[in-house]
A and B are shown apart, each in its own frame.
Chain A
Amino acid sequence: MASDEPLPDAHTSTGWAPTLRTMDPATENDVELLSRLRDGDEAAFVTLVTRYNGSMLRLARTYVPSAAVAEEAVQDTWMGVVRGVDRFEGRSSFKTWLFRILVNRARSAGTREPRDLLLTDDSPAVDPSRFDAGGAWARPLESWETDADDRLLAATWSGRLRDALGELPPRQREIVILRDVEGMDSGDVCDVLGISEGNQRVLLHRGRSRLRAALESEFESRGR
């Protein structure tokens, strides 16, 4: 395993759950699957790959210039996982550990601007022209309450939303993916990316604000 990969602290306890070999792999939790992976169980490996590969590809794409390079980074990560599985001790969730390995590999595969450019996007959450001189909304903001059904929302908007996510600056995109698509909590995201809670919040705010604006313009273009 490469030295840039996060290793769990040696002093922490593992807390492994007992392995249930009779379980259907699709419903087994990560810890059980990892336990079987240690024994060289191919079905456990395939289940983990099926579970996470799509998410990993999407995350990797924020670091590298092409889908092919992203696939290499993901494949490389899986090989790192099977070789290093004995070193995973359950200090973080498997998903956090997996994504940290991926981010390290994808970062070294991609060419990214230095980390100190982290916060250079200071564009406002909402176009300033939407406010009057006193900072109040210049015209009323629509309620989206009528579209409250989430499934309808997703079916109608997911194309535009997917595009808008793809167009976010990479640092905003990686955080929106981890937080809002993957549903990781902020502590895990900071752990995966090696950034502070404050920086994470700023980037999340910019990213979410841009996505909202994209959905709003989609609404307006449809003449609602």
Chain B
Amino acid sequence: MLLRRREDLVCQQVVELVSDYLEGALSRSNRKRFEAHLRVCPNCTNYLEQMRATIRATGTLTPDDLSPEARAELTDLFRNWRGEGS
């Protein structure tokens, strides 16, 4: 998103910059403006915290366990491969 200089960020811009902020991809001056906005805006502070909570929650999702059938099938494939190779 293009930002005009020397102008305060509004909330609608801040929410589009959250990922760049979390990724450390904002320029120094934009990071300062972002952080200056957070200091005076409890809503955007909550928004940033909600995004962090979302990322943490996503990180707790675990893949489905491998079914015994699928494991057996892969093991068979492996045995076949090893048999061919030796």
Report A's interface with B, CB cutoff 8 A. 40, 42, 45-46, 49-50, 53-55, 57-58, 71, 75, 78-79, 82-83, 124-126, 128, 131, 134-137, 140-145, 147-148, 150-151, 153-154, 157-158, 161-162, 165, 176, 180-181, 183, 186, 197, 201, 204-205, 208-209, 211-212, 215-216
Question: For the complex, what is the distance from the CA of A205 to the CA of B10, rounded to whole Å?
Answer: 18
| Given A42-B79, A143-B46, A135:B57 Cβ within 8 A | no
- What is the bound-complex CA distance between A211 and B51, given in angstroms? 9
Given contacts A141-B46, A165-B61, A183-B59, whether A131 and B12 have CB atoms under 8 Å apart is yes
Please tell me if the beta carbons of B78 and A82 are within 8 angstroms of each other in the complex.
Answer: yes
- Residues from chain A with a CB closer than 8 A to the CB of B71 are 46, 49-50, 53
Chain B 1-29 against A: per-residue CB contact (8 Å), 1 yes, 0 no? 00000000011110110111001010000
CB distance from A37 to the nearest CB of B (A): 9
Name the B residues within 8 Å of A181 (CB-CB).
58-59, 61, 63
Q: Are B49 and A165 in contact (CB under 8 A)?
A: no
28 A-B pairs within 8 Å (CB atoms) are namely A42-B79, A46-B74, A46-B78, A49-B66, A49-B74, A53-B74, A57-B63, A57-B64, A128-B12, A135-B10, A135-B12, A137-B43, A140-B43, A141-B50, A143-B46, A144-B50, A153-B60, A158-B60, A161-B58, A165-B58, A181-B59, A181-B63, A197-B25, A205-B18, A209-B15, A209-B18, A211-B58, A212-B50
6 interchain residue pairs of minimum CB distance: A54-B63, A135-B10, A205-B19, A135-B12, A154-B60, A180-B58
CB pair A54–B85 under 8 Å, yes or no, is: no
Task: Collect the chain B residues with CB atoms within 8 Å of residue A147's CB.
Answer: 53
- B51: chain A residues within 8 A (beta carbon): 208-209, 212
Interface of B, helix, strand, loop or mixed by DSSP:
helix
Given A150-B56, A181-B59, A205-B18: A42 and B12 interface contact (C-beta under 8 Å): no
Instruction: Count how many pairs of residues, one from A and one from B, have CB atoms less than 8 Å apart in the complex.
Output: 151
Report whether A201 and B60 are in contact in the complex, using a CB–CB cutoff of 8 Å.
Answer: no
Chain B interface residue count, CB cutoff 8 Å, equals 45
- CB within 8 Å for A42 and B54 given contacts A181-B59, A205-B16, A208-B19: no
How distant is the Cα of A154 from the Cα of B46 in the complex, in angstroms? 19
Question: B30-47 toward A: CB 8 Å interface, digit per residue (1/0)?
Answer: 000000000000111011
Q: A46-B78, A144-B46, A212-B50 are in contact. List 17 more A-B contacts (CB 8 A).
A: A40-B85, A55-B63, A78-B78, A83-B81, A124-B12, A131-B11, A141-B47, A144-B50, A145-B49, A162-B61, A165-B61, A180-B59, A181-B58, A186-B23, A205-B20, A208-B55, A209-B15
